[in-house]
Chains A and B, each alone.
Chain A
Amino acid sequence: MQKLTNKIKGNKLAQIILLVLYVLVTSLSLYLAQASVTAFLLLLFSLLLLYYTELPDRLKWVIAGVVLVGVIPFVSSTGPGYQSYMEVATVVGIYVAMALGLNIVVGLAGLLDLGFVAFFAIGAYTYGIFATGQAEKFMPFGDFPLSGESFWIFILIGCFVAALFGVLLGIPVLRVKGDYLAIVTLGFGEIIRIVFNNLDKPVNITNGAMGLASVKPPEIFGYQFVYPNQFYYIVLAILLFVILAVRRFEFSRIGRSWKAVRENEIAAQSMGIHLVRTKLLAFAIGASFSGMMGVVFAAKQTFVDPTSFTLLESITILVMVILGGMGSVPGVILGAAVITILNLQVLTEVTNYLNQLSLNGVISFPEALAPAKMQRFIFGAILIIFAIYRPQGLIPAKNPVFDEESLKEGSKKHRKEQITVEHDKGFQA
Chain B
Amino acid sequence: MVAEILQSLPQVLVDGLALGAIYAVIALGYTMVYGILELINFAHGEIFMAGAFIGVAMLILMTGMGWLAAMPAVLALILVLVVTSILTGFMGVGIERMAYRPLRNAPKLITLISAIGVSFLLQDLVRFITEYKRGNYILTGPSMFNEQFAIKFSSISSSFSDAFFKTSTIILIISVVLMMIGLDFFVNKTKWGMAMRAVAQDRETASLMSINVNKIISLTFFIGSALGGATGVLFAVQYGTIDPYIGFILGLKAFTAAVLGGIGNIRGAMAGGIMLGLLEMFAAANLQLLTGGIFGAEYKDVFAFAILIIVLIFKPEGLFGKAVTEKV
In the complex, what residues of A have CB within 8 A of residue B312's CB?
172-173, 175-176, 180, 184
Number of residues on chain A facing chain B (CB within 8 A):
52
Check B309 against A173 for contact (C-beta < 8 Å): yes
Judge whether B149 is part of the interface by a CB distance below 8 angstroms: no
Cα A391 to Cα B255 in complex, Å, equals 26
Which of these binds chain A: B82-90, B227-235, B296-304? B296-304
In the complex the two chains form, is B309's CB within 8 Å of A179's CB?
no
| Residue contact B121 to A380, C-beta cutoff 8 Å | yes
Q: Is the CB of A374 within 8 A of B112?
A: no
Q: Are B121 and A376 in contact (CB under 8 A)?
A: yes
Main DSSP-derived SS at the B contact region: helix
Q: Would B120 and A376 count as touching, CB distance under 8 A? A: yes
Q: Which residues of A contact B114 (CB under 8 A)?
A: 383-384, 387-388
Among B71-79, B101-109, B178-186, the one that faces the other chain is B101-109
In the assembled complex, A141 has its CB within 8 A of some CB on chain B: no
Compute how far the CA of A179 lies from the CA of B312 in the bound complex, rounded to whole angstroms: 12
Given contacts A194-B302, A198-B296, are A318 and B132 in contact (CB under 8 A)? no
Check B117 against A379 for contact (C-beta < 8 Å). yes
Contact present for B309 and A387 (CB under 8 Å): no
* Contacting residues, chain A, for B98 (C-beta < 8 A): 384
Is B121's CB under 8 angstroms from A198's CB?
A: no
Q: Is B118 an interface residue (CB 8 A)?
A: yes
| Chain A residues near B111 (CB-CB < 8 A) | 387
Q: Of the candidates A369, A381, A386, which one forms a contact with B128 in the assembled complex, judged by CB atoms under 8 Å apart?
A: A369
Distance in Å: Cβ of A97 to nearest Cβ of chain B: 22
* Cβ–Cβ contact A377 & B124, under 8 A: yes
Q: Is A17 close to B, CB under 8 A?
A: no
- Residue B31 at the chain A interface, CB threshold 8 Å: no
> Which partner residue on chain A sits nearest B249 by CB separation?
A190
Quick check: is B164 within 8 A (CB to CB) of the other chain? no
| Distance between A189 CB and nearest chain B CB, rounded to angstroms | 10
Interface residues on chain B, number (Cβ under 8 Å):
52
With contacts A368-B128, A377-B124 taken as known, whether A383 is within 8 angstroms of B113 at the C-beta atoms is yes
Instruction: Determine the distance from Cα of A187 to Cα of B316 in the docked complex, in whole angstroms.
Output: 16
Give the CA-CA distance A106 to B293 in the complex, in Å: 39
What per-residue 1/0 map shows which CB atoms of A363-399 lie under 8 Å from chain B? 0001111000111110111111011100100000000
Q: Is A23 an interface residue (CB 8 A)?
A: no
Question: Given the complex, which residues of B lie within 8 Å of A381, measured CB to CB?
Answer: 117, 121
**Contact at A114–B116, with CB atoms within 8 Å?**
yes
Q: Are A315 and B132 in contact (CB under 8 A)?
A: no
Report if A271 contacts B (CB, 8 A).
Answer: no
Per-position 1/0 for A259-289, Cβ under 8 A of B? 0000000100000000000000000000000
Among B109, B132, B135, the one with the most A-chain Cβ atoms within 10 Å of its Cβ is: B109
Contact: B302 with A195, CB < 8 Å? yes
* A369: nearest chain-B partner, CB-CB: B128
A242 interfacial by beta-carbon distance below 8 Å: no
Proximity bits, B133-148, A CB within 8 Å = 1, else 0:
0010000000000000
User: Do A388 and B102 touch (CB < 8 A)?
Assistant: yes
**Also in contact, A315 and B309, with CB within 8 A (given A179-B112, A182-B40):** no
Q: Which of B113, B128, B309 contacts A374 (CB 8 A)?
A: B128
Give Cα distance in the complex from A369 to B116, angstroms.
22
Cα of A210 to Cα of B89 in the assembled complex, Å: 43
Is A190 a contact partner of B131 (Cβ separation < 8 A)?
no
Q: Is the interface of A mostly helix, strand, loop or mixed?
A: helix
38-58 of chain B: CB within 8 A of chain A? 38-40
Q: Does B202 contact A (CB under 8 A)?
A: no
- In angstroms, Cα B121 to Cα A381, docked, is 6
Q: A374 and B110: CB pair below 8 A? A: no
Complex CA gap A388/B118 in Å reads 12
Q: Which residues of B contact A140 (CB under 8 A)?
A: none
- A429 part of interface (Cβ distance < 8 Å): yes
CB distance from A93 to the nearest CB of B (A): 25
Closest A residue to B105 by beta carbon equals A429
Identify the closest chain B residue to A264 (Cβ).
B328
Q: Mark A143-169, 1 if CB is under 8 A from B, else 0.
A: 000000000000000000000000000
A380/B305 in contact, CB under 8 A:
no
Any chain A CB within 8 A of the CB of B119?
yes
**Complex CA distance for A190 and B305, rounded to whole angstroms:** 9
Given A184-B308, A187-B305: A179 and B120 within 8 A (CB)?
A: no
A110 close to B (CB within 8 Å): yes
Known: A187-B309, A368-B132, A374-B124. A380 touches B117 (CB 8 A): yes
Expressed in whole angstroms, the Cα–Cα distance for A383 and B99 within the complex equals 10
State whether A191 touches B302 (Cβ < 8 A). Answer: yes
Those of B256-301 within 8 Å (CB) of chain A? 259, 293-294, 296, 298-299, 301
Among candidates B110, B122, B316, residue contacting A387 with C-beta atoms closer than 8 Å: B110
- Decide if B128 touches A388 in the complex (CB within 8 Å): no
Determine how close the nearest CB of chain A comes to the CB of B288; give it in whole angstroms: 11
Q: Is the CB of B301 within 8 A of A194?
A: yes
Q: Which residues of A contact B328 (CB under 8 A)?
A: 266
Which one of A175, A176, A366, A384 contacts B132 once the chains associate, using CB atoms below 8 Å? A366
A188 interface residue (CB < 8 Å to B):
yes
Report chain A residues within 8 Å CB of B308. Answer: 183-184, 187
A322 is an interface residue with CB less than 8 A from chain B? yes
Most buried by B among A182, A187, A202: A187
The residue from B40, B117, B119, B296 contacting A183, defined by CB atoms under 8 A apart: B40
Determine whether the beta carbon of B113 is less than 8 Å from that of A112: yes
- Does A186 count as interface, using CB distance less than 8 angstroms? yes
**B69 in the interface, Cβ–Cβ < 8 Å?**
no
> Contacts of A180 on B, CB cut-off 8 Å?
259, 312, 316
Whether the Cβ atoms of B313 and A377 lie closer than 8 Å is no
Is A311 located at the chain interface by the 8 A CB criterion?
yes
A266 and B327 alpha carbons, distance in the complex (Å): 9
How far does the Cβ of A394 sit from chain B's closest Cβ, in whole Å? 15
Q: Is the CB of A382 within 8 A of B302?
A: no
B103 CB → nearest A CB, Å? 6
B297 to chain A, nearest CB (A): 10
A188 to B302, CA, bound (A): 9
Q: List 11 A-B contacts (CB under 8 A).
A: A172-B312, A173-B312, A176-B316, A178-B109, A184-B308, A318-B116, A368-B131, A376-B127, A377-B128, A387-B111, A387-B113
Extra inter-chain contacts (4) besides given A183-B308, A379-B120, A380-B122, CB under 8 Å: A175-B313, A190-B249, A381-B121, A384-B99
Cβ-closest 6 pairs across A and B? A383-B117, A380-B121, A380-B120, A368-B131, A187-B305, A377-B124
